[in-house]
C-alpha cells in the first residue's frame, strides 16, 4: 500500500522557461539511470531479500525514488510549460512534441522510451544489491553531467539535492551488502536427529546459494 | 499559494527530510539508540506541523490518513498540486 503526500520532497524551482534543459533532464525521468528505473528496480527486488534490513532499505529507498521521479517531472513540466512552438523547435523537442505535446513521458534525452530491460531482479541478494550500488553511482554521474549542462541556478539547486541522495543511498546499500555477507557467513543449519547431511549440499535456507556443510 | 502556507509547507518538507534520512539510517542500524531518539523527536515535530497545516489548509495525505477537517467541501482536489508550485527564490 502506498499513500500520496501532496507535496514535493524538495522545493524544486526553475528560473525561466528552458525546453533545451528539459530535454536533458528528462533522462532522469525515463532514462536508463533515471528515477523510474531506480524506484521500480528496488521495489521489485525487495520480495526475495533474506534479511529485514534489506527488505526495509529497498522499500524505503524505492519509495524515496518515486518522490525523486516527481521532482524531476516538476522540473521538466515547469521548464517547458510556457515554451512557444518556436522554442520547442529550437530546443530540438519537436519530435517529442509531435508524440506527447508537453505531457510527461518516460524517455531519455534522445526520446528513447523506458524499458524494463534497464533493470534486473536476479534473485541472488548479493547480485541485486551490487546492481543497486552501481545504479546509484550511475545516477550520481548523470546528475554531475546534468549540472554541467544546466544554465539555470535554481535547477542546479535541485539537481545537487538529487545528486546528494544518490550518495546516501549508495552508502545504505553498501551497508546492506555488508549485512548480507554477514548473513551468509553463518551456516543457518539447525541440527536435528536423523538429518541427512547430503541434502544440505543442495541448497541453504531461502536464497538458492549453495553451501557446503 | 499564500506566503504563510508556503512557509509552513517548506518547514514540513524540511522536517520530513530529517525523518526520511534517519529512517534510512535506522534501516541498516536498527540498534543505534541516538538515531532512534532523534527520529522520534523529528517524527513528533513532523506530526505536529502536518496537523497544523491540515487544520488550516486541508489534507496533505490521501485515503483518509490526513486530517478529515470540517470544511463543507472536498478539499483534497484543491489546487495547487505539488508540481504547480514554483519554489524559485524561496530557499
Hey, CA dihedral for A51, A57, A58, A60, is it positive or negative? Answer: positive
Mean pLDDT taken over chain B:
94
pLDDT tens track for A59-80: 999 999 999 999 999 999 999 9
pLDDT tens digits for range B7-19: 999 999 999 999 9
pLDDT of residue A211: 56
Whether residue B26 has pLDDT greater than 70 = yes
A5 in any annotated domain: no
In order of A17, A38, A162, A191, B2, the CA distances from A72 in angstroms are: 15, 13, 9, 53, 24
pLDDT digits (tens, 9 = 90+) for A19-34: 999 999 999 999 999 9
| Candidate from A60, A74, A169 with C-beta closest to B82 | A74
| B2 compared with A195, residue with greater pLDDT | B2
Query: How many structural domains does chain A have?
Result: 1
The answer to whether B18 faces chain A, any CB pair under 8 Å, is: no
b/e burial code for range A175-212 (CB count within 10 A of at least 16 → b): bbbebbeebbeeeeeeeeeeeeeeeeeeebeebeeebe
Q: What is the mean pLDDT of residues A48-63?
A: 98
Q: Do B27 and A10 touch (CB under 8 A)?
A: no
Domain-by-domain residue ranges, chain B? 30-56
Separation CA B14–CA B77 (nearest Å): 24
Whether residue A46 has pLDDT greater than 80: yes
Residue A110 belongs to a domain with what CATH number? 1.20.1260.10
What's the domain range around A167? 19-200
Q: What is the dihedral of CA A7, A9, A10, A13, to 10 degrees?
A: -40
- A78-104 confidence digits (pLDDT tens): 999 999 999 999 999 999 999 999 999
Q: What's the confidence (pLDDT) of residue A191?
A: 65
| A6 belongs to a structural domain | no
Nearest-neighbour CA in chain B from A174: distance (Å): 10
Q: Please, what is the average pLDDT of chain A?
A: 93
Q: Is B32 on the interface with A (CB under 8 A)?
A: no
- ipTM value for the complex: 0.96
Residue in A3, A60, A70 closest to B23 by CB: A60
- What grid cell was written down for A33? 539511470
Q: Are A57 and A173 in contact (CB under 8 A)?
A: yes
- Higher pLDDT residue, A191 or A5? A5
pLDDT beyond 60 at A204: no
Q: Are A47 and A207 in contact (CB under 8 A)?
A: no
* Mean pLDDT within B62-88: 90
Partners of residue B9 in chain A, C-beta under 8 Å:
7
- Percent pLDDT > 70 in chain B is 99
Q: Which residues of chain A make contact with B90, given a CB cutoff of 8 A?
A: 11, 13
Classify residue A129: in a domain, yes or no. yes
The partner residue sitting opposite A53, judged by closest CB among B10, B27, B91, is: B27
Average pLDDT over residues B33-59: 97
Nearest-neighbour CA in chain B from A23: distance (Å): 18
Contacts of A5 in chain B (CB under 8 A): 60-61
The pLDDT value given to residue B69: 74
Instruction: Flag if A64 and B30 touch (Cβ within 8 Å).
Output: no
Amino acid at each position: 500500500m502506498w499513500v500520496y503526500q501532496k507535496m514535493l520532497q524538495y522545493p524544486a524551482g526553475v528560473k525561466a522557461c528552458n525546453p533545451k534543459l528539459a530535454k536533458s533532464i528528462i533522462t532522469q525521468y525515463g532514462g536508463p539511470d533515471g528515477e523510474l528505473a531506480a524506484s521500480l528496480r528496488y521495489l521489485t527486488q525487495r520480495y526475495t531479500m533474506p534479511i529485514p534490513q534489506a527488505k526495509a532499505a529497498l522499500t524505503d529507498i524505492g519509495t524515496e525514488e518515486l518522490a525523486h521521479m516527481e521532482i524531476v517531472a516538476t522540473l521538466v513540466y515547469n521548464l517547458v510549460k510556457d515554451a512557444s512552438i518556436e522554442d520547442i523547435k529550437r530546443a530540438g523537442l519537436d519530435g517529442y512534441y509531435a508524440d506527447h505535446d508537453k505531457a510527461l513521458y518516460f524517455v531519455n534525452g534522445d526520446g528513447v522510451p523506458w524499458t524494463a530491460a534497464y533493470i534486473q531482479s536476479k534473485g541472488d541478494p548479493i547480485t541485486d544489491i551490487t546492481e543497486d550500488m552501481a545504479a546509484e553511482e550511475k545516477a550520481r554521474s548523470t546528475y554531475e553531467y546534468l549540472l554541467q549542462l544546466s544554465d539555470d541556478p535554481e535547477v542546479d539547486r535541485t539537481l545537487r539535492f538529487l545528486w546528494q541522495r544518490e550518495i546516501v543511498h549508495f552508502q545504505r546499500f553498501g551497508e546492506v551488502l555488508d549485512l548480507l555477507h554477514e548473513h551468509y557467513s553463518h551456516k543457518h543449519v539447525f541440527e536435528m536427529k536423523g538429518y541427512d547431511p547430503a541434502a544440505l549440499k543442495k541448497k541453504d535456507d531461502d536464497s538458492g546459494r549453495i553451501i557446503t556443510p | 499559494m499564500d506566503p504563510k502556507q508556503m512557509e509552513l509547507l517548506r518547514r514540513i518538507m524540511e522536517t520530513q527530510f530529517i525523518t526520511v534520512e534517519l529512517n534510512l539510517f535506522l534501516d541498516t542500524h536498527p540498534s543505534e539508540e541516538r538515531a532512534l531518539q532523534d527520529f522520534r523527536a523529528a517524527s513528533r515535530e513532523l506530526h505536529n506541523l502536518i496537523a497544523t497545516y491540515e487544520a488550516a489548509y486541508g489534507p496533505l495525505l490521501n485515503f483518509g490518513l490526513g486530517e478529515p477537517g470540517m470544511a463543507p467541501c472536498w478539499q483534497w482536489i484543491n489546487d495547487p498540486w505539488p508540481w504547480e508550485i514554483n519554489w524559485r527564490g524561496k530557499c
